[in-house]
Amino acid sequence: MSAQLLELFGAYGFAARSALVLSLMAMAIYTLLNAGIFAVPQTGLMAVGAYTATILSLDAHWPFGLALLGGTLAGAAAGFVLAALLGRLNGIYLAIATLAFSEAVSAAVLNIPATGTAQGRVGIPRAAGDPVIVASVLAAFALLWALARSRFGLAIVAMREDSLMARHQGIHVWGYRIGLFTLAGALCGLAGGLNVHLTGFVEPGFFSFGLLSHLLAGVVIGGMTFVAGPLVGTGVMFVLSNLLTAVGEFQTLANGVIIVLVVAFAPNGLIGLARQLHRRGRGSADGSALAAAAAAEEGRPRPRTQPAAGSGAVLDLTDIVVRFGGITALQGVSLQCARGELLGVIGPNGSGKTTLLNVISGVYTPASGQGTLLGRPLAGLWGRPHALARAGVSRTFQTIRLVDSLSVADNVTIGLHGLDAAEVAADAGQAAGRRAAVERILREHRLEHLAGVDVGELSYGMRRRVEIARAVASRPRLLLLDEPTAGMDPQERAEVFAMVAALLADDIAVVVVEHDVAMMGQYCDRLVVLDFGQVIAAGPPDEVLRQDAVVKAYVGGTGKAAAP
């Protein structure tokens, strides 16, 4: 039985239990930092849970289990309210705000009689037995582990690495923040409730900045982006402080030094270090996968689906105006793009091409103008990338935005995020589940040999292919490609356009922004030419490219130079 297991530590029994309870806190820290949320409200949330459990236990005379539940829920509620209050605050401001929150809780405690103010309260039944503690830790770990392996876990990694890209995959970043704050709050509340029923008392000085630093050290040492990180880190610190009595006295000092060293030399913590060494040992195993993929490329026909009948405008923009401060980037741009049509947008530097794509995908909100997507007005969707993604808009970016540390398959899976399970199943046909859908997409884009390879190891052309595969994974109705062939050689460019042709056959409307005018003229069905934020020409390529205005916009006035 676990109770006896912990008794083996003898004199360290209490310290071990305490460390286990605090590992819940470490997991709460991981929950937020892993998502790239620079927030540290954990001690405040723990205090909320602890005092709630105390009051329920001592004043309301609830049994231990219910008091514990009450503390957990109180922590969760506090996390929820805090996240809602702080809104979209980010970076250092968010860190400061959450520190201030914890201090505010401590300060508030001093003014609420039920908390026992500065003296705290004693006499809490010491009902937190070892089974409960161990079960809580295991349950929390299992929950976080399952979360990390689910599509929510992928979404969280995407959020952390590239928040803008994540929103374009239908990931509702703000919603996730609220959810994660609530989860962290629950874990802290649970830790608080367990702690007071372990020690039998509660006092405000416990929930200090020092405690936060201590726990943060543990998470950083273990590796803050790994589920096992908080446990490993807390375990290491427990061992260091208790079994090496010489260090025990200088524990905080040692922790501080270790933190500085870890951030400097092993930013992914001990687990990250271990993985790196393991990877180096594996060597060129991935190289062989790449070679196999290359070999498989030769002479393989592209899978084509039947071209669907019918056409109709997918995107219709009227008089779109976009302003930044005093500059008008788009001055009344109108265009349409129909099903199965490849619309090219060209124009000199600063003409507003990328701004146009950004407005369509939701990065910017137009100052005025209307638009419809498949007949549905865009009025409620401007400026909301995740909503537009779910409405059927998908895109690639000027600089490829993939998560280098994830595999090709995982990156493509992120693209499926906006679809719920039923949509995935309906789309996958016979085979159920996202995994099958991802496999099918990889096959269609001839990436199945690279499914397990980390994107960071691929060549530029391959990465662009993965990004496009991700973009079409959700079966969008409108695909936006922002300079997809930049930096490629002619053969790679031809391949990209061949892939686009296949998408057009699937009735997707595609808008592509590019600089290579000749290439655009060769592949596009229609061209739109922008200059200084206005459309100066639109129509079939051979018509458009012959117009003087277009040539002049690109090559500029000759001034006093003689033309041959």
- Which residues between 529 and 548 bind other proteins (CB under 8 A)? 545
Q: Does 93 bind other proteins (CB under 8 A)?
A: yes
Angle at 364 between CA 363 and CA 366, to 5 degrees: 150
| Touching other proteins, residues 363-422 (CB under 8 A) | 399-400
The CB-of-452 to other proteins minimum distance in angstroms stands at: 20
Binding mask 122-151 toward other proteins (x if CB under 8 A, else -) reads ------------------------------
92 binds other proteins (CB under 8 A): yes
The window from 247-255, 301-309, 372-380, 415-423 that contacts other proteins (CB under 8 A) reads 247-255
Distance, CA of 564 to CA of 561 (rounded, Å):
10
Applying CB under 8 A, does 263 fall inside the site for other proteins?
A: yes
Q: Does 114 bind other proteins (CB under 8 A)?
A: no
Which 503-522 residues touch other proteins, going by CB under 8 A?
515-519
Name the residue nearer to other proteins (CB basis): 299 or 564. 564
Count of residues that interact with other proteins, criterion CB under 8 A:
77
- Out of 217, 271, 508, 510, the residue judged to bind other proteins by CB under 8 A: 217
What backbone torsions phi and psi does residue 363 show, to the nearest 5 degrees? -70, -40
Q: Which stretch binds other proteins (CB under 8 A): 87-95, 406-414, 422-430, 536-544?
A: 87-95
- Enumerate residues 6+ apart whose C-beta is below 8 A from 368: 319, 320, 321
The footprint of other proteins on residues 471-500 (CB under 8 A) is 483, 486-487, 489-490, 493-494
Choosing from 19, 76, 220, 317, the residue that interacts with other proteins (CB under 8 A) is 220
- Please, which residue, 221 or 373, has the CB nearer to other proteins? 221
| Segment near other proteins (CB under 8 A); pick from 82-90, 192-200, 309-317, 421-429 | 82-90
Cβ-count burial 391-423 (b if 16+ within 10 Å, e if not):
bbbbbbbeebbbbeebbbbbbbbbbbbbbeeee
Rg (CA), the chain: 29
Alpha-carbon torsion (538, 542, 545, 546), positive or negative: negative
Nearer to other proteins, 4 or 111 (CB): 111
Nearer Cβ to other proteins (245/558) = 558
Residue whose CB is less far from other proteins, 128 or 544: 544
Residue 467 sits in the site that holds other proteins (CB under 8 A): no
- Site map (CB under 8 A) of other proteins, residues 23-52, x = contact: ----------x--x-x--------------
CB of 310 to other proteins, least distance (A): 33
x/- site string to other proteins, residues 161 to 200, per CB under 8 A?
Answer: ----------------------------------------
Contact 177, 155 (CB under 8 A): no
Q: Give the separation between CA 460 and CA 471, rounded to whole angstroms.
A: 17
Q: How many CB atoms lie within 10 A of CB 254?
A: 17
Q: Which two three-digit tokens encode residue 398?
A: 């000027």
Torsion of Cα atoms, 395 then 401 then 405 then 411, to 10°: 0
Regarding 432 and contact with other proteins (CB under 8 A), the answer is no
Q: Give the 3-state secondary structure of residue 149.
A: helix
Direct distance between the N- and C-terminal alpha carbons of the chain, in angstroms, rounded to an integer: 94
Which residues make Cβ contacts (< 8 Å) with residue 463, sequence separation at least 6?
A: 400, 402, 455
CB-nearer residue toward other proteins: 448 or 516:
516
Classify 257 as helix, strand or coil: helix
CB of 318 to other proteins, least distance (A): 27
Burial (0-12, 13-18, 19+ Cβ within 10 Å), 488: middle
Which of 69, 73, 81, 99 is close enough to bind other proteins by CB under 8 A? Answer: 99
Name which position in 258, 293, 357, 414 contacts other proteins (CB under 8 A). 258
Query: Between residues 11 and 264, which has the closer beta carbon with respect to other proteins?
Result: 264
Does residue 559 interact with other proteins by CB under 8 A? yes
Q: Give SS3 for 454.
A: strand
**Given the rule CB under 8 A, which of 89-97, 140-148, 362-370, 442-450 is the region that contacts other proteins?**
89-97
Give me the least distance between CB of 272 and other proteins, in Å please: 13
Strands in 257-346 per DSSP E: 313-324, 327-338, 342-346
Among the listed residues 201, 348, 384, 454, the single contact to other proteins using CB under 8 A: 348
Concatenated DSSP letters for 375-434?
A: TEE-TTTTT-HHHHHHHTEEE--SS----TTSBHHHHHHHHTTTS-HHHHHHHHTTS-SH
Q: Does 77 bind other proteins (CB under 8 A)?
A: no
CB burial of 437-462 (b: ≥16 within 10 Å; e: otherwise) equals bbbbbbebbbbbbbbebbbebbeebb
Helix (H) / strand (E) element for 224: namely: none
Nearer to other proteins, 195 or 225 (CB): 225
Give 78 or 137: the residue with its C-beta nearer to other proteins: 78
